[in-house]
């Protein structure tokens, strides 16, 4: 089968794409796949890491203010659509899978007008702008939530959940994961991560939080992103509690498996991975996410009893330390949160998504 995948900008968009590629490759050893995204964008590195050929477009997100800037971005969008049409003509895909983000618009728009079936996947509780634009002509719209908000043809929609990479469905046991990471198997572990790009507020709160914990009380795995790494290392060197600092954690499956509790943003892929692994969490929604979708994701987990929500404006070292200590001292609540998180998982999401694609392509 020949498939083009488009979308990116964050790990929330790329993770379900990788999950779909893994499942497609498992089923079709002759799979021909090409990823189209923003030149130099986050998705370019992700596709390279998974040996997926990548083609870049100069598309940019829509500016909110400058009129001159809007004209320039519009011109780049038009060029990107033309370039995407050429890529479609050369690659000749049987189907295009869009996983969201503004980078998915040029290829999706061009493919639809060239008669190529498009399948859209929406990770959040509200349909993103690119998916809303593409939805009227999409052959399939695959959703993560029953009550997804936004305008789209309901007759073409199906709830499949949010696909996660295969490793999250079959993680190592906690002791093995801790040994792999060089951690003490008898001391609680907290994983702190602000997503693929890091999170300034979480990093600042962590720097202020570390003096509240003593040796042997807890161990931290702290993924800072590129910008907060140096300051985090300096603070970790002075901390009593063991604190391992990373710019980016390559083996996130092992890091999650090692953790008793996870502090993170609440992007759709992150919450799907938390559910799949049954991990309790403190979620700090990114406040500038489109349509405030991260808080909606976090509140859904809070309502189920799977997470404690801490708004970004309230995320200080003192507040986070207080929440963290309360949870670590209440193992029964952590257990209930873990069970609630696992109850939100949709373990067959990748398989269902791929079956929909195969049915569309080979329906004759």
User: For position 195, what pLDDT does the model report?
Assistant: 59
Q: 112 and 6 in one domain?
A: yes
Q: 149 and 115 in one domain?
A: yes
- Tokens in use for 188? 């609680």
Q: 357 and 332 in one domain?
A: no
- Domains contained in the chain, number: 2
User: For position 340, what pLDDT does the model report?
Assistant: 97
Q: 122 and 200 in one domain?
A: no
Residues 6+ apart with CB under 8 A from 19: 163, 164, 165, 166, 349, 350, 353
What do you get for the CA distance between the two ends of the chain, in Å?
14
Q: 221 and 125 in one domain?
A: no
Residues of the chain with pLDDT under 50: none
User: For position 125, what pLDDT does the model report?
Assistant: 79
Residues 6+ apart with CB under 8 A from 99: 5, 6, 7, 8, 13, 14, 16, 17, 20, 120, 121, 123
Q: 189 and 89 in one domain?
A: no
- Tokens in use for 274? 């938390």
Q: For 246-259, give one letter per residue: b (16+ CB within 10 A) or e.
A: beebeebbbbbbbb
Instruction: Report yes or no: 43 and 37 within 8 Å, Cβ to Cβ.
Output: yes
User: For position 198, what pLDDT does the model report?
Assistant: 56
Q: 118 and 176 in one domain?
A: no
Q: 195 and 123 in one domain?
A: no
Q: 352 and 336 in one domain?
A: no
User: For position 196, what pLDDT does the model report?
Assistant: 55
CATH classification at residue 74: 3.40.50.2000
- Tokens in use for 229? 């790494």
Hey, is 34 helix, strand or coil? Answer: strand
Beta bridge partner(s), residue 308: 282
Tell me the percentage of the chain whose pLDDT exceeds 70.
99
User: For position 281, what pLDDT does the model report?
Assistant: 98
User: For position 268, what pLDDT does the model report?
Assistant: 85
d(CA 178, CA 331): 19
Q: 233 and 120 in one domain?
A: no
Residue 198 structural domain: 167-343
Query: What angle is formed at CA 18 by the lines to CA 169 and CA 353, rounded to 5 degrees?
Result: 75
Q: 317 and 228 in one domain?
A: yes
Q: Match 């979308």 to its residue by tokens.
A: 7
User: For position 40, what pLDDT does the model report?
Assistant: 93
Q: 206 and 183 in one domain?
A: yes
């Amino acid at each position: 089968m020949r498939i083009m995948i488009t979308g990116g900008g964050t790990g929330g968009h790329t993770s379900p794409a990788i999950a779909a590629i893994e499942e497609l490759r498992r089923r079709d050893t002759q799979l021909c796949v090409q990823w189209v995204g923003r030149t130099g964008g986050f998705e370019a590195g992700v596709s390279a890491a998974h040996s997926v050929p990548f083609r870049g477009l100069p598309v940019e997100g829509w500016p909110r203010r400058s009129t001159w800037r809007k004209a320039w971005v519009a011109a780049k969008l038009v060029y990107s659509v033309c370039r995407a049409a050429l890529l479609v003509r050369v690659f000749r895909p049987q189907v295009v899978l869009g996983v969201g983000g503004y980078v998915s618009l040029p290829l999706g728009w061009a493919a639809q007008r060239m008669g190529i079936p498009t399948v859209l996947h929406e990770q959040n509780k509200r349909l993103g702008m690119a998916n809303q634009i593409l939805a009227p002509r999409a052959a399939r719209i695959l959703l993560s939530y029953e009550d997804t908000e936004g305008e789209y043809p309901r007759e073409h929609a199906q709830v499949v959940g949010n696909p996660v990479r295969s490793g999250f469905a079959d993680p190592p046991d906690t002791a093995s994961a801790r040994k792999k990471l060089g951690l003490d198997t008898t001391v609680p572990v907290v994983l702190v991560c602000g997503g693929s790009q890091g999170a300034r507020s979480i990093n600042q709160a962590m720097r202020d939080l570390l003096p509240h914990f003593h040796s042997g009380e807890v161990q931290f795995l702290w993924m800072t992103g590129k910008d907060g790494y140096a300051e985090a290392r300096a603070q970790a060197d002075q901390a009593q509690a063991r604190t391992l600092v990373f710019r980016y954690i390559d083996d996130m499956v092992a890091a999650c498996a090692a953790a008793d509790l996870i502090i993170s943003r609440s992007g759709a892929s992150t919450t799907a991975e938390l559910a799949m692994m049954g991990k309790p969490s403190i979620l700090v929604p990114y406040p500038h996410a489109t349509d405030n979708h991260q808080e909606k994701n976090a509140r859904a987990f809070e309502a189920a009893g799977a997470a404690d929500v801490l708004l970004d404006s309230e995320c200080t070292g003192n507040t986070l330390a207080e929440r963290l200590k309360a949870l670590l001292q209440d193992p029964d609540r952590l257990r209930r949160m873990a069970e609630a998180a696992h109850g939100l998982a949709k373990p067959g999401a990748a398989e269902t998504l791929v079956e929909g694609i195969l049915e569309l392509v080979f329906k004759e």
